Each structure stands twice: as structure tokens, then as C-alpha cells.
């Protein structure tokens, strides 16, 4: 399998109605299969806007967004859901559901309007659960899962869509160390083994540096830096963007950020 | 699974049979096939009740998923207020003819639907279910106030008519009304059935539903309009019958789960059964008088619902 260009943003700007400034200004990003890109930046720097523009939910004010060579806005949602699987920041189930049922919802874009699930749909669900190490959870109720288990199940639902691109919006928020490491390892493994492309929005600067192929650092809607972590995470860039003094130390080949304490008055 | 459907179908037949056999006038079983009362009153009334109950239940199930609130009822969206205003307006203006009341109620419900829909379109494009719910309550309250004003200014006999009409009743049933309803109802019903899978996704929230491939903007509009059209037709032929649209989807979720592909057809049958039984009770309980069927559904529905709520709250 070659390195197909899955997602391409070129000089994209976006603005919300009645907002004083662009939420995104001249940002470019290309993601190919087998690539894991992390998007980091302070709160309000445009990370989620980037995701909305990339997924065709917000039309860009300038620049182009293409998924598999086709403008993001030109995709029907059903077609797009066969190519891109998303783990959104928030969701809440109105009705009680079992794990297998919620993962089965990932097959929706593959079903006909009236059709019942086919054997291949159930096979895809089993495969997705297996890959996310969640097969043992299949018959549990959603509300009995821990935070880490629930995120693995949601990732399995996105995989059941059999996408070529995975998009994850802060999937490790409020997870403990073990579960956040498990999730990063899982995403990295999926990208490596199945030649998926992945974009993850995250506040874990250090894990992004260790797991992602590239890091896009956003600052007030602009790309402050973009490239391998060693080039992006320099002390002066990180201090400027996050407005906090830091030290940058190498660990196993990746730069790691250590926030400094300010001297007490 | 098949057993549950068989049981429900059996229940439906039994309810319809009971509604035909029982009534204030005694008709012996031997005369059942020749009796005018049975042929021209009881049979169309039972069938009409079934279609109305089923429509209300399907509308309720769809709206509950749409506004993401399991306590939504088709009449929560202002339609009852609009229909009531239309009907009372027609009575106050002495508009005559057998179709005046249902048509006026239908027009009132459609006007309320259009107003609520417009208010619910945030930024002129996207239907916001929360705003929709609040607009429904507001429009309903306003229409209710105007209705009460008209009723308070009219004469006592008219007042009683209007009041009884608002509580619902199937006494106006005829083969003609049944025919009109059977031509009208399948379209919105099919629209809702076709939205079954997107409604499953919508239960996760609008954003996740979009990411899973649902055309959320259109699904919301279609479901709102179809459910409202069903409710408007129901209210036109039978007044405001509460609790069917709220309770039946809940009961059906307990048995069939929350997949709308199963839930919507089950709700139709369940709603039909419930309303036919309630109407039979309304006819027989205080014969020769007749209770408004909306009072019977409330008398059965409220305690049953309280029990269900308590059970769910503890599990």
C-alpha cells in the first residue's frame, strides 16, 4: 500500500459568525495513511475548529480542504463516515445500551436504508472490539464501564466504520496514566498495523511527542510550528505559545516538556 | 423475538374484538354480523381508535429521540393548544357541518406546528430540539390562554361541548373519517419508519450522529414534521388524547429495546391496543354516559407511569 494522501488542508482560514477574529488562519496540514499526527495548543487555539473544518462541518472562509482528493464539503455524511471514523469529545447515551449495540452503530454508513445487519457487519464489530482489546466487554452495559474502557469501546465503534482516517478529539481527557498510555499505544498500533491515518487532538504534549509522527502546534488559530516533535517542541516556542516557563529535556529520543514553577514573591 | 410479535398481534386482535363485542347497547353474539350498531358504529370506531393510538405512539417515540428527552409527548410541542384553539374558535363562530370541527382543529394544529418549527429553526437553518421543546410549550400555553378566554366568554352549553372535545373522544368515528385517516396516515408513518436508523444514532447526540453518517439536519426536520402531521390528524378526529404517546414507547422499550427499527412498529401496535381498550372502557364504564377517552388514558396512564418511573429510578 502506498502512502496515499488522505486529508489535505491548504492555507485554511475559518471564522464563526460575529467573531472578532479568525478561529483558524492560514493553516495547512496533510495526513497520509500510516501517519499519526497530533494537534496540540492552548485552549481556544483552534484545535476543535480545525477538526470541524477538516470534517466538512464548517466551510472554510479561505483555502481548501480535501479528503481523498475531494472537497470535504462535497461528501455526503454517509459516504464520509465510510472513510473517516471520529471519536468526538462528548457524547451521552439517551437510552441504556450494551457495548456490542453501540459498536454496531458504527456499521450504519454501510447498511442499506431498510436492511438488517448482515453477517459481515457483525464480523466487523467483533474485529473492531478485538483490535481495541474490548472483546470481553461486548455484553456489558455502557454505564458499567470505566472511563478508559468506554473510550476503547468508542474507538472500536469508529473502527467498525472501517475508516481510512481516525480522528480523536481529546480521547484521554480525565483518564489515569495507565488508561491514557493504553489509548496512545492502541492508536499507534492501529496506525502501524493497519496503515490507518490518525489525527489526535490532545493536551498531552509529552505523549504527543513520544507517539506521534508529527505535531501541529496551534496558537490563536495559526500554526506556531508543524513537523517532527524535536523541531516543534523547542523551549522558546512552547513558552511563547503556552505562556508559561518550561524546560525541554530529551527522553528516549523525544523532547519532553517540564513546566517550571515560578519563583514565589 | 417472534413470540413477542405474535403476542402483540394477538393482543391487538383481542382488543379490537372486545371493542366490537362490548358496548352500552346489548348486541348478542349471534347478531354481531347483522347489527347496524356494530357495523356502522363499533367497527369503524375500534379501527379508528387503533390507527389514532398507533399514530400517537409512533409520533411520541420519534419525538422522544428527536428532542433527546424520554419524557416528550406529542402534545408537548404545542399541537394540542393549536388544535384546541381551532376547534373552540369554530364552535364560537358557529361554523356548521360535520367536518367543521375536525378541519378547524387540524388547521389549528398545523398553524401551531408551523409556528413552533419556525421558532425552533435557530439561525434560520438548524432545528434546535431544546428550542423546539420550549417553543412548543410557549405556543401551547399561549393558544391555551386564548382558548380559555373564548370559552369563558361563550355560553354554558357551548362551553361544555368545547371542554369535552378538548379531552378527546372517538364518538365522531365513521367509515368516512376512518377512510380519510387511512389515506393520510401511511405517508408520515413511512417517513418515521425510514428514519429509524438515524434516530438510533441521534440518541448519542447530534455531533456523534453526524460522524456516524446521519444527515442530522434533514432527519430532525423530517421527524418533527412527520410526527406533528400524525398528531395533528389524531387531534382532528379525536381531540387531545394524552399519555398514549408518552407511555407506549416506554413500555415498548422495556420489551423490544431502543432500536427504532423494532420500537416504531411495536409502538404502533401497542398504541393501537391501548387506545382501543381505553375507548372501550370509556364507553362501557359509566353507560349510558360516555367518559372522554383522554380521561381514561390519564386515569390508567398516570399511576402506571408513576410505577414505571419508580422502578427505573431504583435500577
Return the closest-CA partner of residue A135 out of A120, A149, A114, A117.
A149
Strands A5-14 and A24-32: antiparallel
Give B273's pLDDT tier (boundaries 50, 70, 90).
very high
* Residue B315 in this model has a pLDDT that exceeds 60: no
Nearest chain B alpha carbon to A160: B212
Q: H or E segment at A250?
A: strand A246-251
Q: Is B211 on the interface with A (CB under 8 A)?
A: yes
Return the closest-CA partner of residue A53 out of A71, A37, A79, A33.
A71
Instruction: Enter the C-alpha cell of residue B301.
Output: 396512564
Nearest chain B alpha carbon to A166: B211
- What is the distance between the alpha carbons of residues A46 and B20, in angstroms, rounded to a whole number? 66
Q: Which of B205, B211, B213 sits opposite A92 (nearest CB)?
A: B205
3-state helix, strand, coil in chain B (%, to 5): 75, 0, 20
Contact B211 A81 (CB under 8 A): yes
Q: Between A and B, how many residue pairs show a Cβ–Cβ distance under 8 A? A: 71
Instruction: Enter the C-alpha cell of residue A102.
Output: 453501540
Give the Å distances, CA to CA, from B309 to A161, B43, B263. 36, 35, 19
Among all chains, which residue has been given the C-alpha cell 363485542?
B21
Q: Which of A88, A95, A97 sits opposite B211 (nearest CB)?
A: A88
Q: Is B122 on the interface with A (CB under 8 A)?
A: no
Inter-residue long-range contacts of B119-128, CB under 8 Å, 24+ positions, other chains counted = B120/B224, B123/A17, B125/B217, B126/B217, B127/B217, B127/B220, B127/B221, B127/B224
Let me know if A30 is exposed, middle or buried by CB neighbors in 10 A (0-12, 13-18, 19+).
Answer: middle
Q: What pLDDT, on the 0 to 100 scale, is given for residue B159?
A: 66
Expressed in angstroms, the distance from the first to the final Cα of chain A is 59
* Residue A260 in this model has a pLDDT that exceeds 90: yes
Report pTM. Answer: 0.88
- Report, as an integer, the average pLDDT of A70-84: 94
* Residue A114 in this model has a pLDDT that exceeds 70: no
CA distance B282 to chain A (A): 34
Contact A106 B212 (CB under 8 A): yes
Chain A hits for B253, CB-CB cut-off 8 Å, are 95
* Residue B185 in this model has a pLDDT that exceeds 60: yes
Q: Is B68 on the interface with A (CB under 8 A)?
A: yes
For A:106-125, CB contacts with B below 8 A are 106, 108-109, 111, 113-114, 116
Strand partners of residue A197: A165
Return the closest-CA partner of residue B192 out of B289, B276, B265, B292.
B265
Q: What is the DSSP letter of A141?
A: B
- Report, as an integer, the average pLDDT of A103-120: 86
Contact B204 A105 (CB under 8 A): yes
Instruction: Please count the other Cβ atoms lying within 10 Å of the Cβ belonging to residue B271.
Output: 32
Q: What pLDDT, on the 0 to 100 scale, is given for residue A1?
A: 47
- Report, as an integer, the average pLDDT of B229-241: 88
Nearest chain B alpha carbon to A17: B123
- Report, as an integer, the average pLDDT of A159-182: 92
Nearest chain B alpha carbon to A93: B204
Contact A76 B215 (CB under 8 A): yes
- What is the distance between the alpha carbons of residues B279 and A159, in angstroms, rounded to a whole number? 50
Q: Is B218 on the interface with A (CB under 8 A)?
A: no
Q: What pLDDT, on the 0 to 100 scale, is given for residue B124?
A: 66
- Report, as an integer, the average pLDDT of B240-253: 89
Q: Is B39 on the interface with A (CB under 8 A)?
A: no
Residue A229 contacts residue A208 (beta carbons within 8 Å): yes
Q: Is B205 on the interface with A (CB under 8 A)?
A: yes
Contact A88 B207 (CB under 8 A): yes
Amino acid at each position: 500500500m502506498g502512502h496515499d494522501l488522505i486529508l489535505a488542508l491548504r492555507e485554511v482560514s475559518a471564522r464563526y459568525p460575529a467573531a472578532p477574529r479568525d478561529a483558524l488562519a492560514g493553516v495547512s496540514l496533510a495526513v497520509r495513511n500510516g501517519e499519526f499526527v497530533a494537534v496540540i495548543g492552548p485552549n481556544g487555539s483552534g484545535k476543535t475548529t480545525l477538526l470541524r473544518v477538516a470534517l466538512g462541518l464548517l466551510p472554510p472562509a479561505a483555502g481548501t480542504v480535501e479528503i481523498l482528493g475531494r472537497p470535504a464539503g462535497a461528501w455526503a455524511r454517509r459516504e464520509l463516515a465510510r472513510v473517516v471514523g471520529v471519536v468526538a469529545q462528548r457524547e451521552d447515551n439517551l437510552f441504556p445500551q450494551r457495548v456490542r449495540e453501540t459498536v454496531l452503530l458504527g456499521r450504519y454508513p454501510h447498511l442499506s436504508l431498510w436492511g438488517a445487519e448482515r453477517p459481515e457487519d457483525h464480523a466487523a464489530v467483533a474485529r473492531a472490539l478485538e483490535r481495541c482489546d474490548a472483546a470481553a466487554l461486548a455484553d456489558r452495559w455502557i454505564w458499567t464501564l470505566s472511563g478508559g474502557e468506554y473510550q476503547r469501546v468508542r474507538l472500536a465503534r469508529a473502527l467498525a466504520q472501517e475508516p481510512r482516517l481516525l480522528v480523536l478529539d481529546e480521547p484521554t481527557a480525565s483518564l489515569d496514566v495507565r488508561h491514557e498510555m493504553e489509548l496512545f499505544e492502541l492508536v499507534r498500533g492501529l496506525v502501524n498495523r493497519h496503515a490507518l491515518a490518525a489525527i489526535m487532538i490532545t493536551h498531552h504534549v509529552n505523549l504527543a511527542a513520544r507517539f506521534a509522527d508529527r505535531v501541529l502546534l496551534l496558537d490563536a488559530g495559526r500554526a506556531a510550528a508543524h513537523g517532527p516533535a524535536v523541531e516543534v517542541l523547542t523551549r522558546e516556542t512552547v513558552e511563547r505559545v503556552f505562556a508559561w516557563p518550561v524546560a525541554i529535556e530529551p527522553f528516549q529520543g523525544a523532547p519532553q516538556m517540564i513546566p517550571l514553577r515560578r519563583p514565589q514573591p | 423475538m417472534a413470540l413477542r410479535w405474535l403476542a402483540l398481534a394477538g393482543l391487538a386482535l383481542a382488543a379490537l374484538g372486545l371493542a366490537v363485542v362490548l358496548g352500552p347497547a346489548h348486541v348478542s353474539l349471534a347478531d354481531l354480523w347483522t347489527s347496524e350498531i356494530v357495523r356502522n358504529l363499533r367497527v369503524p370506531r375500534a379501527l379508528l381508535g387503533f390507527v389514532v393510538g398507533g399514530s400517537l405512539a409512533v409520533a411520541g417515540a420519534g419525538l422522544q429521540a428527536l428532542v433527546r428527552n424520554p419524557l416528550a409527548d406529542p402534545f408537548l410541542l404545542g399541537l394540542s393548544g393549536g388544535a384546541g384553539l381551532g376547534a373552540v374558535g369554530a364552535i364560537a363562530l358557529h361554523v356548521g357541518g360535520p367536518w367543521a370541527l375536525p378541519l378547524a382543529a387540524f388547521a389549528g394544529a398545523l398553524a401551531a406546528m408551523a409556528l413552533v418549527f419556525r421558532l425552533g429553526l435557530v439561525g434560520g437553518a438548524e432545528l434546535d430540539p431544546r428550542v423546539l421543546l420550549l417553543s412548543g410549550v410557549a405556543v401551547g400555553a399561549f393558544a391555551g390562554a386564548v382558548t380559555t378566554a373564548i370559552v369563558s366568554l361563550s355560553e354554558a352549553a357551548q362551553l361544555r361541548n368545547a371542554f369535552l372535545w378538548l379531552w378527546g373522544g372517538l364518538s365522531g368515528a365513521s367509515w368516512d373519517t376512518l377512510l380519510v385517516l387511512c389515506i393520510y396516515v401511511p405517508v408520515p408513518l413511512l417517513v418515521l419508519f425510514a428514519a429509524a436508523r438515524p434516530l438510533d444514532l441521534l440518541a448519542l447526540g447530534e455531533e456523534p450522529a453526524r460522524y456516524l453518517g446521519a444527515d442530522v439536519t434533514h432527519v430532525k426536520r423530517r421527524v418533527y414534521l412527520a410526527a406533528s402531521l400524525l398528531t395533528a390528524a389524531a387531534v382532528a378526529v379525536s381531540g387531545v388524547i394524552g399519555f398514549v404517546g408518552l407511555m407506549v414507547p416506554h413500555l415498548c422499550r422495556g420489551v423490544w429495546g431502543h432500536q427504532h427499527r423494532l420500537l416504531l412498529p411495536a409502538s404502533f401496535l401497542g398504541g393501537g391496543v391501548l387506545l382501543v381498550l381505553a375507548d372501550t372502557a370509556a364507553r362501557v364504564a359509566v353507560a349510558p354516559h360516555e367518559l372522554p377517552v383522554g380521561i381514561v388514558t390519564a386515569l390508567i396512564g398516570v399511576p402506571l407511569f408513576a410505577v414505571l418511573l419508580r422502578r427505573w429510578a431504583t435500577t
